[in-house]
Structure 1
Amino acid sequence: MTTLEFNRELTNVKSTLFSFALKLTKDYQDAQDLFQDAATRGYRYCSRFEMGTNFRAWMATIIRNTFINKCRANSKRRTVSEPIETFTFSIESQNIIANKGEMDMRIQEIYGMLDQLSDIYRVPFLMHFQGYEYKDIAEHLNLPIGTIKSRLHTARATLKKMISKQEALPTA
Structure 2
Amino acid sequence: MNLTRDADDAKDLVQETLLKAMLNKDKFKAGTNLKAWLYTIMRNTFINNYNKITKRNSNIDSTEYFQYFNTDENYITHNGATSDFVVTDINAAIAGLSADYRTPFMMYYIGYKYLEIAEKLQIPIGTVKNRIHIARKELKQALKTYAPGV
Query: What is the TM-score with the length of structure 1 in the denominator?
Result: 0.38
Q: Larger radius of gyration, structure 1 or 2? A: 1
More helix by share: 1
